[in-house]
């Protein structure tokens, strides 16, 4: 059995596009992972939800239940 006729130059030319596409895809994925990691390590907000001073909180954010209306 004889080996197949292999033209390395033609194979290089045919594989160039898919290889470049895979390399671009890998670079994009690495960029997205780095972007995600930087956002996760960003400084937390200065005031977390629920830590507002009740004395200065607006009435809409008050945790107290409104008083029932007086029947007349």
> pTM of the prediction?
0.50
For 7, how many CA atoms within 13 A lie in the half-sphere containing its CB? 4
Mean pLDDT, rounded, for 7-28: 94
Phi, psi of 22 (to 5 degrees): -65, -40
pLDDT digits (tens, 9 = 90+) for 24-68: 999 999 999 999 988 877 766 665 555 656 666 565 555 666 667
7 to 16, 17, 29: CA distances (angstroms): 15, 17, 33
């Amino acid at each position: 059995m004889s080996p197949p006729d292999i033209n390395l130059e033609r194979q290089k030319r045919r594989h160039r596009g898919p290889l470049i596409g895979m390399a671009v895809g890998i670079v994009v994925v690495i960029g997205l992972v780095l972007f995600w990691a930087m956002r996760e390590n960003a400084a937390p907000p200065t005031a977390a939800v629920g830590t507002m001073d009740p004395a200065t909180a607006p009435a809409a954010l008050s945790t107290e239940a409104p008083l029932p209306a007086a029947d007349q």
